[in-house]
Amino acid sequence: NFTPNAFVEEIVAEMKAKIGNDKVVLGLSGGVDSTVAAVLLNKAIGENLYCIFVNNGLLRKNEFENVLNQYKGMGLNVKGVDAGERFLSELAGVSDPETKRKIIGRVFIEVFDDESHLLEDVKWLAQGTIYPDVIESVSVKGPSATIKSHHNVGGLPDFMKLQVVEPLRMLFKDEVRRVGASLGIDPELLGRHPFPGPGLSIRILGDITPEKVRILQEVDSVFIEGLKSWGLYDKVWQAGAILLPVNSVGVMGDERTYEKVVALRAVESTDGMTADWVHLPYDFLMKVSNDIINKVRGVNRVVYDISSKPPATIEWE
Ligand code: XMP
C-alpha cells in the first residue's frame, strides 16, 4: 500500500535535510526516472538543482527541442547541451554494437564532466536510479542513461567523485509513475515508452551517418505518431524502427528504385526481460507502411518483426 503523497512528503524532507544549501547536478534523459527525480529534488532544493540534458544526436525526431521546452515549462533549472555532432563524429565508421555503446557512454561522460566543471561548488550528483537498477547494478548491455558506477575509482571524472543522491532507489517503475502523477507531471511524459541510452545508434545496423539518422528519425516518427493516432501507443510497451544495412529493389512510377529497408518492432512486456511481439492490426500496418514509403525519401520497403524474446532480443543490436 504505497502512497505517493506520503512518499513525496517524506523524501522531500529527507533530501532537504541531507543536502542543505549545497548544489546538486543531475543528468536528464527525457525518460520517466530522471524526470521524476529532478522534479522531486526541485521541490526540495529549488534553484540549487542544476539539470543537464545532452543531445547525443541519436534521439527521436525533434525530441531534444520538445523535451527541453517541456522541462523549462516545468520550472526546472535545465541546460540543454547539443553535442550531436561530437557523438556522430566519434561514431563515424563504427559498426560493432558494443563499440557503439562504449563510445556513447564515454562521450556522454566527457560532455557531462565538461558541463559540470562550468558549475562551481557542486557537492552532489543526483541520479534517477530505481530499485531494479540497484539490483542489476551493472547493465548487461553497457551504459544506460543513468551513470553506473562500475568504473575504476582512480580514473573517475570529477563529477563522479561527488556524493551521490538517488531519491527513487527504493521504488519500482509503477511507483515512480504514481509519484510523477502526484507531482503533476504530464501523463504523456509519464507514459512514454522506454528508450535505450545509446538511442538510435543501436537501431541503425552497421555504421552510422547523419543521413541514416535522418531517415530513421523520419520513419520512427511516422510509426510512433501512427500508433498514437490509432490509439495503440498505450497498448504497447515499447516500439521503434530499425534501419537495415541492405537495399532492396522497388518500383516508383516507371522507375526502378534501389533503396533502404526498415523493420518495425512493437512489443508487449513488463520488465523488458521477456517480450512478445504485438499483433498490430493489419489495417494499421498497411497504412503505416504506405505512409513511411511515401513520406520518407530513401526507403522503399517496410517489414514487421515477429520475433519474441527469448530467443530474439527487443533491440536488434
Ligand atoms: P534487449 O534488446 O536486451 O532490450 O531485449 C531490453 C530493454 O533494454 C533496452 N536496452 C538498453 N537500454 N542501454 C539502455 O539504456 C542499452 O545499451 C540498451 N540496450 C537495450 C531496450 O530498449 C529494451 O527496453
Q: What are the boundaries of each domain within the chain?
A: 4-190, 209-304
In this prediction, residue 149 carries a pLDDT of 44
Identify which of 192, 200, 204, 315 to mutate to test ligand 1's pocket (most ligand atoms within 8 A of the CB): 315
Ligand 1 neighbours (beta carbon < 6 A): 101, 141-142, 144-145, 194, 196-198, 238, 272, 309, 313-315
In this prediction, residue 144 carries a pLDDT of 46
Q: How many CA atoms lie within 13 A of 201 on its CB side?
A: 29
- Over the chain, what is the mean pLDDT? 93
pLDDT in tens, 254-274: 999 999 999 999 999 998 999
pLDDT reading at 1 higher than 90: no
**What is the maximum span of the chain, computed from C-alpha positions, in angstroms?**
72
257 and 300 in contact (C-beta within 8 Å)? Answer: yes
- Straight-line distance from the first to the last Cα atom of the chain, in angstroms, rounded to the nearest whole number: 39
Q: What is the per-residue DSSP string for 68-121?
A: HHHHHHTT--EEEEE-HHHHHHHHTT---HHHHHHHHHHHHHHHHHHHHHHSSS
Map grid coordinates 520512427 to a residue: 220
pLDDT reading at 143 higher than 90: no
pLDDT reading at 160 higher than 50: yes
130 and 179 in contact (C-beta within 8 Å)? Answer: no
Percent of the chain with pLDDT strictly greater than 90: 88
Given the DSSP bridges, would you call strands 122-126 and 23-28 parallel, antiparallel or unpaired?
parallel
Chain-centre distance of CA 198, in angstroms?
8
In this prediction, residue 288 carries a pLDDT of 98
Q: CA 35 → CA 85, 125, 225, distances in Å?
A: 25, 15, 22
In this prediction, residue 254 carries a pLDDT of 92
State mean pLDDT over 176-204.
Answer: 96
State mean pLDDT over 154-160.
Answer: 75
pLDDT reading at 145 higher than 60: no
87 and 115 in contact (C-beta within 8 Å)? Answer: no
Whether pTM > 0.90 for this model: the answer is yes
ipTM above 0.90, yes or no: yes
In this prediction, residue 152 carries a pLDDT of 43
Q: Which architecture characterizes domain 4-190 according to CATH?
A: 3-Layer(aba) Sandwich (3.40)
Q: Give the atom of ligand 1 at the shortest distance from the alpha carbon of 269.
A: 24
Residue closest by Cα to atom 20 of ligand 1 = 196
Chain-centre distance of CA 238, in angstroms?
11
Identify which of 136, 314, 316, 317 to mutate to test ligand 1's pocket (most ligand atoms within 8 A of the CB): 314
Residue closest by Cα to atom 10 of ligand 1 = 196
Q: Do domains 4-190 and 209-304 have the same CATH topology?
A: no
**The CATH fold of domain 209-304:** GMP Synthetase; Chain A, domain 3 (3.30.300)
Q: Which helix (H) or strand (E) holds 188?
A: helix 187-190
In this prediction, residue 137 carries a pLDDT of 63
In this prediction, residue 157 carries a pLDDT of 81
CA distance 67 to 63: 6
Neighbours of 307 (CB within 10 A): 15
What length is written for the chain?
317
Residue closest by Cα to atom 12 of ligand 1 = 196
pLDDT reading at 146 higher than 80: no
